[in-house]
Structure 1
Amino acid sequence: MKSYIQLLLLATLSLLGCRKTDVEPTCSGSCTIIKGRYVTDDGAKGIAGMPVEVQWKNQPSTYNIIIRRKAATKTDANGYYKLRFFIKDDELQNGYFRLVHTLHSKAYVNDHSIGGAQFDGLTRDTTIINDWLLPRKAFIKLEVSNPTQAASPYYAYTSFNFNIGAIPNPYPESWYKIVMPWRGAFTTTVEVAANQPIDIETLKEKNSISTRTHDTIRLAPEEVYTLKESY
């Protein structure tokens, strides 16, 4: 009963502390503009009809979060969007701005750990161009076997790296990375990007000697690729 009351209190504080406003009126002067394109398939195809909005967020204290919805729109038939808004005096000094997109389709890679673009230090009468890559889903089924061959100490992992988020991003080392450590024999399925390069890296470390392999593949949307590895 005590735990229930504590959870209820935390939920109440959370609701009371987060203040989210309606979308503000259209800016008529000294406007800041954020525009760009949401794309998939390695940038070859726009994402149409997706809700996009810019928010200002500030957290003066632990239980006091302020979110202002500055402007909202939907992407056009080719994935382009344009948001026009006015930055208030207090917003010039505090908080930050963020782009929030709403994907209603489960066909795209879940990018919650990345979130949308964030902007600090925005000024009035400025234009920002922000293009964003949201890949469609494919899957890699990782099968790791033969753990009895692993001498102690032994360390290994397989990682899957692909581009997602702000583009252009010509640096593969900064791509989104999913790391799967090896722990005995196991099988797991990983959600990856379709219609664009996926870098697969496997590291094995045994008796202080490391071996590292790389492979690059491309998968069609919803394709399942089986990757077999062994100790």
Structure 2
Amino acid sequence: MKYSYKLILALCIIGLFSGCTIEEDDTPADAIDQLTITGRIIDHNNQPVKNIPVVFYFYRGAYIVSCNRKKATSKTDENGIYKFTIFRKTDENNDGLEQYYYLYPDLDDKKYFTRATYFRDIDAFWTDRYHVVSDYILWEAQYVKVFANTKPEGAEYYDIECEFEKPVYNYGKYYSSRNYNINITPYTTNFQVPLHQDLKFTMTWDGKYKRTVFVKKDNLPKQIDLSYIPE
């Protein structure tokens, strides 16, 4: 038994210094306050999306180990509405290192663009009893392989850019990638792009040689060929 205790202690110490995140389910047992949050999830056609799981967390940073506390879960109804009742604990404040609340749809980020909504000023957050969050547009996503089998003679690097028809969260209307490793063909980049949008893919060599391909919405292939074609 002594060996078991030592093993457990060693594992705890390893976890402590590895900066691992601890997740704790919240309960109102020692709550000092409470409030309500509501919001709505819609699709690309502004229609409500039902049965989407949404999670609300408290995060506290630390030098050794951080805390990621799951405070509440919800699911959207027929109208795309989710609702939380949040209970505050005594250690949830602006004191110390970085601390904030955040919520996000708990979905597969390979099939959807996902982003969190942050509430960074905790004390200010608790001055209101009822929060209404802006509509969250749920963008379905797909990974696309963008490649080129040829390049301009002497080219040293390439940029690949995908322009979206509509902005998607912090990506805005563009997603881009630069690569200097051009010794291996084909020259390949995997992009996550939104569905249900017209897209424009452009590959530029050394900032001057370009190849562009347009893709119409709902007709997205799994691969885009941007091989260089000499003029």
TM above 0.5, one fold?
Answer: yes
- In structure 2, how many angstroms separate the alpha carbons of the residues matched to 1:23 and 1:211? 56
Offset, 1:24: 2.9
Offset, 1:97: 0.3
Q: Is the 8 A contact 1:145 1:230 kept in 2?
A: yes
- 1:177 equivalenced with 2:161 (yes/no): no
Q: Is the 8 A contact 1:52 1:102 kept in 2?
A: yes
1:220/1:60 CA distance change after superposition, 3 Å: same
Q: Is the 8 A contact 1:159 1:201 kept in 2?
A: yes
**Counterpart secondary structure, 2:50:** coil
For the pair shown, the structure with the greater C-alpha radius of gyration is 2
State percent identity of aligned pairs: 20
Offset, 1:118: 1.7
> For 1:153-197, what per-residue CA distance to the aligned partner results, in whole angstroms no more than 9, with x for missing partners?
x3322122444347xxxxxx7346242637253155533211124
Partner in structure 1 of residue 140 of structure 2: 136
- 1:120 equivalenced with 2:120 (yes/no): yes
Within the candidate set 56, 62, 82, 2:64 is matched to: 62
Amino acid at match of 1:71: A
- In structure 1, how many angstroms separate the alpha carbons of the residues matched to 2:205 and 2:109? 37
Partner in structure 2 of residue 229 of structure 1: 226
Amino acid at match of 2:175: K
Taking the TM superposition and a 5 Å limit, the aligned residue runs for 1:38-57 are 38-40=41-43, 42-57=44-59
Between Structure 1 and Structure 2, how many residues are aligned? 206
Partner in structure 2 of residue 169 of structure 1: none
Partner in structure 2 of residue 84 of structure 1: 85
- In structure 2, how many angstroms separate the alpha carbons of the residues matched to 1:92 and 1:109? 32
1:17/1:141 CA distance change after superposition, 3 Å: closer
- In structure 2, how many angstroms separate the alpha carbons of the residues matched to 1:230 and 1:25? 59
1:189/1:70 CA distance change after superposition, 3 Å: closer
1:130/1:214 CA distance change after superposition, 3 Å: farther
Partner in structure 2 of residue 24 of structure 1: 27
- In structure 2, how many angstroms separate the alpha carbons of the residues matched to 1:22 and 1:109? 26
Partner in structure 1 of residue 3 of structure 2: none
Offset, 1:12: 3.3
Partner in structure 2 of residue 203 of structure 1: 204
Amino acid at match of 2:150: N
Q: Is the 8 A contact 2:200 2:215 kept in 1?
A: yes
1:105/1:127 CA distance change after superposition, 3 Å: closer
Offset, 1:135: 1.9
Q: Is the 8 A contact 1:116 1:165 kept in 2?
A: no
- In structure 1, how many angstroms separate the alpha carbons of the residues matched to 2:104 and 2:135? 13
Partner in structure 2 of residue 3 of structure 1: none
Partner in structure 2 of residue 170 of structure 1: none
**Counterpart secondary structure, 1:76:** coil
1:14/1:145 CA distance change after superposition, 3 Å: same
- 5+ residue gaps in structure 1? 1-6, 167-172
1:219/1:67 CA distance change after superposition, 3 Å: same
